[in-house]
Chain A
Amino acid sequence: MVEMMYREALRRALDEEMQRDPLVFLMGETIAERGGSYKVTEGLWQKYGSRRVIDTPIAEASFTGMAVGAALVGCRPVVEILFVDFAMLVMDQIVNQAAKIEFISGGQGKVPMVLRTQGGAGNGLAAQHSQSLEALFYHIPGLKLVMPATPADACGLLKSAIRDDDPVIFIEHKLLYMTRGPVPEEEFLIPLGKAEIKRPGRDATLITYSHMTLKCLEAAAFLEKEGIRVEVIDLRTLAPLDTETLLDSVRRTGRAVVVHEACKRGGVGGDIAAMLMEQAYDDLDGPVLRIAGRNTPIPYNLKIERACVPSVEEIVAGVLSIL
């Protein structure tokens, strides 16, 4: 194992895949010489040149559409959209084009592209740079959706996403780029569609993903001191959803809490709760709880920004409320 930052792990995945497959190329704003806003692509332009690390104008809808086109003719483009908020500008190309082409062409066309982007609150960037919009992609058949929480997952999942033949939306979290963690030294892949039990437990299951995984682990460590053993499952891939791992855990613990930063209304948590209710009703000792972001745009001021996103205390209180 080697220690590395989340952003370094992402860079390693891009580098290894570009090295392995000359059809992998990158496109985005200031990703080339400057290495991207969050420094994920640093050094890759120097190594692979302007043909494979391409700086674009501020033209998200069209360069994402160009990735769809390049994927259709056999390339494996990885597009970077600076903020998931700006991914709203590319929804036609993602939702109506990338997600549909394989289906409407009867399997003739494939769109093996990755859209890397970044979301979440916490840096005072206000309403148009802090959103958690994964539910919009989760809703669309034809898309895969990955949201890693640790450097190792970021690396292994991004490599799998690039090799996958479907369009993959890969959402990073702005508060994770500088976090560190162990990553295997040798090359490795993590399959899409597999959740991971990040901490085993028997009293309740916390189901989460992305940055909230860190908060859930903190909450679980706190509860352990009170003698409560909570299982923490990091989904890692939201679509396809690893229902098997979730159901297996809930059958053992009998209690489940879904935690995410995105607004509660219409969030992924509601869908997971409904799935558990439908498929594990007899194993549940109580209703599935959702702890999620408040149903509001994210404000600029620090105090009220903080109030929008679930805290460790809220997660602890939520678990206690259902035991």
Chain B
Amino acid sequence: MALTPPAGDPAPIAEPILLGIYRNIYATRRFELTCIELYRQGHIRGYLHPYLGEEAVAAGACAALRPDDYIVSTHRGHGHCISKGADLSLMMAEITGKATGYCRGRGGSMHISSKQVNNLGANGIVGGGIPIAAGAAMGIMVRQTDQVVVAFFSDGASNNGVFAESLNMAGIFRLPVIFMLENNHYAVSTPIECATGCCDLAGRGPAYGVPGICVDGNDAVAVYHETLRAAGRARRGEGPTLIEAKTFRHGGHHVNDPGLYMDPQALAEWKARDPLTLMKQVIADPSKTRIIETEVESELEAAVAFALRSPEPDVAEFIAGIPEH
């Protein structure tokens, strides 16, 4: 099967959708920077993998979804959760380990999930979510609805066996799943060229009978168009799509990784194409983006205040729920 040809001139996007995309990119950017601050202050522990620089992938993809569609997320999952419509306060409470958080303080950043917005969950196991996404799509097939699932994962996960097996099965059963491969060019410190002999990751789709598309992951509008097209195919029963969205982390793998191994020239080039700036240019009306920014800032301020004043899980209650044997 040949790679799917470019979409041609897509229809213009309605303004509320564009503004929604900008909101999610901006909210994710500010949310991540706030988390880093809270981590430094000791309010967040464990692993924290910022989505800085990659915000356009989740924002563009989720804008093409309906509220009843599902997503499956990764260890770098805040952006997916925000873009699917999650509540910043409940997210922040979870990430600071509070009883009021989405997962009652049990999951934290790496395991955030929200039934409310059909986010089936972030994952601490690289690649662990890919078959779960295909399985959710199988559930949709059995239930005979026209929902779709987007599986977010990155280049590192695409070298794990679960990727090949899931892609193959999604192809057989024509499952309504979109494999959103966020190619940020690194798995921790390993550049993608050192982890595979073939860096054309979209090309892995056709090998399994699944159309493969490569898109600029810093261009939220492009991601939106491709996701919308793939979702349309999925809803019509035409099966899965692999979308490789090329992007780049703005920093290290996690909050304590300075990322010194990253190619400085590539980093500078990608930063010059910051998804936030690009989307601002699309909207091209500073008064509109400013309103969104003000709204997000107050939402975020409220989220931090909520998280910090929320109680921690009660130890006695937690223990009482555990079987003695």
Question: A263's closest neighbor in chain B, by CB?
Answer: B322
Rounded to whole angstroms, the CA-CA distance of A294 and B315 in the bound complex is 13
Rounded to whole angstroms, the CA-CA distance of A85 and B125 in the bound complex is 9
Chain B: residues with Cβ within 8 Å of the partner, total of: 41
Residue B232 interfacial (CB < 8 Å):
no
User: For B142, what are the chain A residues with a Cβ–Cβ distance below 8 Å?
Assistant: none
User: For B188, what are the chain A residues with a Cβ–Cβ distance below 8 Å?
Assistant: 29-30
Chain A: residues with Cβ within 8 Å of the partner, total of: 34
User: For A124, what are the chain B residues with a Cβ–Cβ distance below 8 Å?
Assistant: 45-46, 97, 108
Known: A57-B187, A127-B111. A299 touches B195 (CB 8 A): no
Contact of A304 among B46, B157, B315 (CB under 8 A): B315
Contact, CB under 8 Å: B157 / A303: no
Q: Which of A58-66, A228-236, A239-247, A314-322 contacts B (4 or more CB under 8 A)?
A: A58-66
Rounded to whole angstroms, the CA-CA distance of A33 and B47 in the bound complex is 22
Known: A58-B126, A85-B124. A126 touches B108 (CB 8 A): yes
Question: A127's closest neighbor in chain B, by CB?
Answer: B111
Contact, CB under 8 Å: A299 / B46: no
Residue B161 interfacial (CB < 8 Å):
yes
Residue B281 interfacial (CB < 8 Å):
no
Contact, CB under 8 Å: A295 / B322: yes
Residue B309 interfacial (CB < 8 Å):
no
Residue B105 interfacial (CB < 8 Å):
yes
Question: A56's closest neighbor in chain B, by CB?
Answer: B195
Rounded to whole angstroms, the CA-CA distance of A30 and B191 in the bound complex is 11
Rounded to whole angstroms, the CA-CA distance of A294 and B126 in the bound complex is 27
Residue A125 interfacial (CB < 8 Å):
yes
Rounded to whole angstroms, the CA-CA distance of A122 and B146 in the bound complex is 44
User: For B103, what are the chain A residues with a Cβ–Cβ distance below 8 Å?
Assistant: 300
Contact, CB under 8 Å: A300 / B194: no
User: For A307, what are the chain B residues with a Cβ–Cβ distance below 8 Å?
Assistant: 315, 318-319
Residue B196 interfacial (CB < 8 Å):
yes
Residue B277 interfacial (CB < 8 Å):
no
Rounded to whole angstroms, the CA-CA distance of A123 and B46 in the bound complex is 6
Contact of B125 among A30, A57, A86, A303 (CB under 8 A): A86
Contact, CB under 8 Å: A301 / B313: yes
Rounded to whole angstroms, the CA-CA distance of A263 and B6 in the bound complex is 54
Scan residues 270-325 of chain B and give those whose CB is less than 8 A from a CB of chain A.
Answer: 312-313, 315, 318-319, 321-325
Question: A299's closest neighbor in chain B, by CB?
Answer: B106
Residue B110 interfacial (CB < 8 Å):
yes
User: For B156, what are the chain A residues with a Cβ–Cβ distance below 8 Å?
Assistant: 57-58
Rounded to whole angstroms, the CA-CA distance of A57 and B154 in the bound complex is 13
Residue A323 interfacial (CB < 8 Å):
no
Residue A179 interfacial (CB < 8 Å):
no
Question: B195's closest neighbor in chain A, by CB?
Answer: A57
Scan residues 291-312 of chain A and give those whose CB is less than 8 A from a CB of chain B.
Answer: 294-297, 299-304, 307
Contact, CB under 8 Å: A34 / B161: no
Q: CB-defined interface of A155-183 with B at 8 Å, one 1/0 digit per residue?
A: 00000000000000000000000000000
Contact, CB under 8 Å: B319 / A30: no
Contact, CB under 8 Å: B125 / A299: no
Residue B127 interfacial (CB < 8 Å):
yes
Contact of A300 among B107, B159, B190 (CB under 8 A): B107
Contact, CB under 8 Å: A128 / B124: yes
Residue B160 interfacial (CB < 8 Å):
yes
Contact, CB under 8 Å: B157 / A30: no
Rounded to whole angstroms, the CA-CA distance of A16 and B189 in the bound complex is 27
Contact, CB under 8 Å: A300 / B160: no
Rounded to whole angstroms, the CA-CA distance of A295 and B322 in the bound complex is 6
Would you give the shortest CB distance from B189 to chain A, in whole angstroms?
5
User: For B127, what are the chain A residues with a Cβ–Cβ distance below 8 Å?
Assistant: 58
User: For A58, what are the chain B residues with a Cβ–Cβ distance below 8 Å?
Assistant: 126-127, 156-157, 159-160, 187, 195
In order of increasing CB-CB distance, the 3 nearest A-B pairs are A300-B108, A128-B124, A124-B46
Known: A57-B156, A85-B124. 12 other contacts (CB 8 A): A58-B157, A85-B125, A125-B47, A127-B124, A128-B111, A129-B47, A264-B325, A299-B318, A300-B46, A300-B106, A300-B107, A307-B319
A–B complex contacts, Cβ < 8 Å, 5 sampled: A55-B194, A124-B97, A127-B106, A300-B111, A301-B97
